[in-house]
Amino acid sequence: MPSDAHSFRNDTVLLFEPNASNEVGLCLRQALSTGSLLALENCMADLLMRDVNGSMISQIIACLGSPELRGQLFGLFMMDETSALRTVNASYHHDNGFEKWVLINHPDFKLRLHVYEASSLIPQENRHNHAWDFASYIIEGCLENTFYELDDLSGEELLMHYQYSPVQGGAYHTELLNPSQRLRRSANLTLSGGRAYFLPATVIHRINSEHTFKQRTSTLMLTGKRRTYHCDLFAEKEFVHTETPTRGMSLDHLHHRIETLSYGLTA
């Protein structure tokens, strides 16, 4: 089975600044002003459907990441209990140590809030790529990515190469492709609050826990339409996929998260 793992190039990651004053921002602002999450979802779907050069994911997250529109977005979940409960039921604690809040779950895209709490118990995530392109805005804290290339000759990391694919019921099928795949570290990217970036699906990366978990780090992330059925994952030991919904996810917990991000509270 062929791998979708591609090499990192200097132009692979696109950095961009939040901007809610352009045409995309005006469309999103109008949708948010209705007070309806469905109106926002429909607006985003329409924008992505009309995307001609692949940049719309970045444009949308740049707008929604701006303080003004982000505040309006979070406000919807304080006012609309039905939407908030839908988010609670779709959200969980990821194996890599962060809370994954699914704010919008559309067939062609997802808008998520990721929260990494400061902790001395640091999970180290595996190197991986994704089935979809994504754009991410760092709301607070610091996010450090390391990028990798396949390098059978001089790669300094010897890892087990898995492919995993979704199956019915939310589970994953995992297949070991190569028990001894070499990867070479090719670049690091560290971003603090107020910055945003775009990453293509095929790029191998991982979040470096040593920096990310030093303080609370929160990101707003928009994933695009699925580009491939499977993903690649590179692990130091046998990989078992165990993403499990967190019992602590509740409406009160979601509201608390939104309040801390909206008003700069510490916990």
- The mean pLDDT value of the chain amounts to 84
Q: Strand 217-223 and strand 109-116: pairing?
A: antiparallel
The yes-or-no verdict on residue 25 having pLDDT over 70 is yes
d(CA 130, CA 229): 10
The mean per-residue pLDDT over the stretch 125-130 comes to: 90
Cβ pair 70, 40 in contact under 8 A: no
Cβ pair 216, 116 in contact under 8 A: yes
pLDDT at 249: 84
The 10 Å CB-count burial string (b at 16+, else e) for 237-253 is eebeeeeeeeeebeeee
pLDDT per position as a tens digit, 195-242? 889 999 999 999 887 766 678 899 999 999 999 889 999 998 887 765
The 10 Å CB-count burial string (b at 16+, else e) for 203-233 is bbbbbbbebbbbebbbbbbbbbbeeeebbbb
pLDDT per position as a tens digit, 57-76? 999 999 999 898 999 999 99
Q: Tell me which of 9-23, 44-58, 167-181, 238-252 is least confident.
A: 9-23
The yes-or-no verdict on residue 21 having pLDDT over 80 is no
The percentage of the chain sitting over the pLDDT mark of 70, rounded to a whole number, equals 82
SS3 246: coil
- Residue 35, sorted as left (phi over 0), alpha (psi -120 to 50) or beta, turns out to be left
pTM: 0.87
Q: Which domains does the chain have, with CATH numbers?
A: 14-263 (2.60.120.10)
The yes-or-no verdict on residue 107 having pLDDT over 90 is yes
**Total H helices, total E strands in the chain:** 7, 13
The yes-or-no verdict on residue 248 having pLDDT over 80 is no
d(CA 250, CA 110): 20
d(CA 136, CA 15): 10
Q: How many whole angstroms from its chain centre is CA 31?
A: 23
Whose tokens are 């067939």? That residue is 107
pLDDT at 1: 33
pLDDT per position as a tens digit, 43-54? 999 999 988 777
Structure tokens at 35: 């007070």
SS3 240: coil
